[in-house]
Structure 1
Amino acid sequence: MVQPNTTGYANAAMSDVWKDFLVNKVNSFIKWDLVRFFHENPHTTDTADNIAFVVGRDEKVTRRELDGLVRVGVLEKKTVSNVTVYTYTADKTVRDRVCDFVTACHDRDFRVKAINQVIATMDVPRHS
């Protein structure tokens, strides 16, 4: 069995870098699904309803979470022929961080810590 190279991810005991990433970028399980989707399909440019269908999520909620990922620089949003589409950012730093996150999630200990961090973040009241 091939072990992913996650050295340092789980042992970092959820470093401040990962806490910041999970609190400010991937602070919901839908966003987690979306960053993984765009990481695995980096050339995708599509509408919220099509993306929602592919990831198996509600279109309205997916649109809200896509817009959240646009605000934090993970995705870009543009209008093409009067249709709003979303695409993965071209920013190498952001893509590298997402890649590291997806890779780190192959480690069960890291994934459990990340899940707990997202749950803790979801419990924090947010002001709009």
Structure 2
Amino acid sequence: MASSTTSESPTVNHTEINWYDFIRNKINSFIKWDLVRFFHHNPHTRDTADNLARYTGRDAKTIERELNDLAGVDVLKIETVGAIKIYQLSDNAEIRRLIKAFMEACQDREFRVKAIHHVILGMQFSPRHDF
């Protein structure tokens, strides 16, 4: 697909991106994946972990840990107002380009299955014998 001259960012060639590195180092849990998708669809959102947990239907402590991890790899940034942490999408153009490309690539079922596989591998589940 050719680059668009009218859009703010050109179309990304998904084969040029090291998806393995991106998934393993940035979106290495399904909660982080959900948060990245949320911020991609709501790029101007600036909010607390409690509110983001409510929006995503997840536990606030878990969300806060994952938000802090995403901030640690420059996907998000944190602004502290008093004692309250406010999370927002990074303004780093390269990170935003990668997120946009990842969301576009996720439209392809085969890509999504591979990405899910890598997230699961990265989570290092150990076999359970208590089912």
Q: Shorter-chain-normalised TM-score: which range?
A: 0.7 to 0.9
Root-mean-square deviation (CA, aligned residues, Å) is: 2.1
* Alignment partners' CA distance in 2, 1:109 and 1:7: 18
The corresponding residue for 2:46 is 45
> Could you tell me the percent identity over the aligned residues?
50
> Is 1:107 aligned to residue 74 of structure 2?
no
1:80 to partner: Cα distance: 1.8
Aligned length: 116
Asked if the contact 2:12/2:101 (under 8 Å) is kept, the reply is no
* Alignment partners' CA distance in 1, 2:112 and 2:97: 18
Q: Report the secondary structure of 1:76's partner residue.
A: strand
Asked if the contact 2:44/2:88 (under 8 Å) is kept, the reply is yes
1:41 to partner: Cα distance: 0.4
Structure 1 runs (4+) deviating above 2 angstroms are 6-9
Amino acid at match of 1:95: R
1:78 to partner: Cα distance: 1.2
| Greater Rg by CA | 2
The corresponding residue for 1:60 is 61
Unaligned runs of 5+ in 2: 1-10, 127-131
* Alignment partners' CA distance in 2, 1:84 and 1:7: 33
* Alignment partners' CA distance in 2, 1:86 and 1:70: 8
* Alignment partners' CA distance in 2, 1:44 and 1:7: 24
TM-score, length basis structure 2: 0.82
Q: Report the secondary structure of 1:121's partner residue.
A: helix
The corresponding residue for 1:29 is 30
> Is 1:87 aligned to residue 88 of structure 2?
yes
Cα distance change, pair 90–7 in 1 and its aligned pair in 2 (3 A)? closer
TM-score, length basis structure 1: 0.84
Cα distance change, pair 79–31 in 1 and its aligned pair in 2 (3 A)? same
